[in-house]
Amino acid sequence: MLCQYKTIVISPLVMNMTLANKKILLGIGGGIAAYKSADLVRRLKERGADVRVVMSQSAQQFITPLTLQALSGHPVASDLLDPAAEAAMGHIELARWADLVLIAPATANVIARINAGMADELITTTCLATEAPVVLCPAMNQQMYRNPATQANLASLQSRGLTIWGPASGSQACGEIGPGRMEEPLVIADRVEQFFAPKLLQGKSLLLTAGPTREAIDPVRYISNHSSGKMGFAIAKAAAEMGANVTLVSGPVNLETPVNVERINVQSTQQMLDAVLTKVEHCDIFVGCAAVCDYKVADVANDKIKKSAEEMALALVRNPDILATVAAHEQRPFTVGFAAETQDVERYAKDKLQRKKLDMIAANDVSNPAQGFNSDDNALTVYWSDGQYELAVNDKYTLAKQLLTIIANQMKTA
């Protein structure tokens, strides 16, 4: 007999404006990557942040203050002593205003001057005068980045509590290839979100599976399903933002790895299980979001099967059950499953919750083309031993944050 369930209420979450009321001072150094700063301002603004810009004198040779003023909605500061500023001390005014000082791009010159404690122009003086956290996003020629002087400057700044994001590697404007590219504005905006996100999972290790698995028929054919991996990747992104140490075991999907997430790529269900078992002893939470193949081909052909007969029969055997294996593990983490159903969603989800001895299960109706597989939106009903909660249709990132909040709350009461 199934347990009786009670419904609880959790606080509503505001997700669309993730940086609402956050004051970010963006400092722009004089490098070719300054052109990316315009997009960075836009990315931060669309998430609700109040952005003000301070530019080095050389930065104005690469991008005009007028462009950044139009995007930020505020005058751009560059003069150390500004008659229009409060008491003509713009560096103090801006330093007190900011919740975060973000230098992007941080050129080798700017990094060296900040490390030396120089107050020769507004961008460096503000870093000296602020009590807000300071983040540097390096951008320079790869040889300049590798130079021992630059590395020593970065190490010194980190030892004093400044944060370094990047750089990325790749082709550079000078034609060389290597580390030194400023991270893309979307990545930096994601990092800012993580910086300010409530750390409900701080200190926790979260392991999750995402995407489909593929079971080979022969070297060119396989059995799989329609999972896009979007829900699992949204959970990984949200968990990292909430402070968790995240490992994502992913089937074959075409998605970017979220910032600060360790990713392990697999193909088959057995490979996914093997990867999970290497990590499960060291995790606090396991979320089985992958749509794994329940069956695999008994005898995989070594060569491509040629078309001949009108019919072909395949013998299938059961795959291992990853969720049940984790739930039965000796050092069992808080175990959360997913139930993607096309009918009787509640009945099947509750049965799976009890049969596999899970702590929680999130059920969704994948027969609805507007949600679930391949969609950017979803709706979930979350069940646990004595409660349930409805998460209405929303984008998968928002749902991921809501789901993880429920998990964090349940772990506190478990």
Active site residues: 174
Q: Cα separation of 345 and 166, whole Å? A: 44
Tokens 């790749």, residue located = 170
| Spatial contact of 273 and 204, defined as CB atoms under 8 Å apart | no
Candidates 199, 300, 214; CA nearest to 250 is: 214
